[in-house]
Amino acid sequence: MDRWDTLEKQLHQSCPALDLRREEPLFRHTSFRVGGPAALMALPASREEAAAAVRIAAELGVTPVYLGNGSNLLVSDEGYDGFLIKTFGGLNDISVDGAAMTADSGVLLSRLAAAALEAGLTGLEFAHGIPGTLGGAVTMNAGAYGGEMVQVLASVTFLDEAGRVETLPASDCGLGYRRSMFSDGKRLILGAELALAPGDPAAIRARMEELGEKRRSRQPLELPSAGSTFKRPEGHFAAALIEQCGCKGLRVGGAQVSEKHAGFVVNTGGATCRDILALIEQVRARVLEQTGVALELEVKTLGIGKGGAGWNLS
């Protein structure tokens, strides 16, 4: 019996209702729509099932990878020989108490922002068009149009590496530009409390519609991607540098630098992880050669080791 058989058996014994999948194709779970199979995936339907999955994995010496909506992830064509725990679809509760909102990590930001609107609470308008989950947004301190999670986050509840539940105030979570203490992937976020403010529902809705129109007009939302491919370099904008270097529209196989927004690499149909990586490498090399700016990947990777030019994608 291999380690995945052992882990699967123990998880079934501890949580008979837990959704477990062997050799689950990861292209089904990422917004890029690429990626081979995972050795074992768990999709917990409660915080208790998530805690049991983390605890049992730790007891067997298995380090899980935590997945939300897969909206910022690029997975190897060969897949990932490991254990994934996916929160989207299972950890899905939202509650409101005054101006405080508490939600599970698997809740989509679009749903969270809509719930805030319904409650007449302002502060999450920027998040309405971000395709990820609350857990992913906290992990990378997601932001757009001048808003960031750090502006509304009050506290985070998570599992440590042994499956124990902890809660920390946002000020202790190491939130910075596209990072937090959770960015190392060692802790599974269960949920968070947000501190919002009472607002005028009509104004909140109008702002959400305004930002939605900006996204639709400027971003290639009609094609699979993982959002902004590169982090914003200090003193520059990645998309402007990429366009300046003649990379807009550049293609490798089914992967293309979007003709609508050069900061996005998109899957025009049938792209492989290999295509996307080769395109990323070309863009990065051109920008470095022509401008001296080294673009840093914002997209997270799984099952990928060293890329070309000596930079580590993993």
Residues involved in catalysis: 178, 228, 298
Written as six digits, the tokens of 157 are 């509840």
Whole-angstrom distance, CA of residue 161 vs CA of residue 295: 32
Name the nearest CA neighbour of 33 among 305, 275, 313. Answer: 275
Handedness of CA 280, 313, 182, 21 (dihedral sign): positive
Parallel/antiparallel/unpaired status of strands 94-97 and 100-104: antiparallel
DSSP secondary structure letter of residue 229 = S
**CB-CB contact of 87 with 105 (8 Å):** yes
Q: Strand 19-25: give its sheet, edge to edge.
A: 19-25, 37-43, 80-86, 65-67
Report residue 302 as tokens: 């799984």
CB neighbours of residue 191 within 10 Å: 24
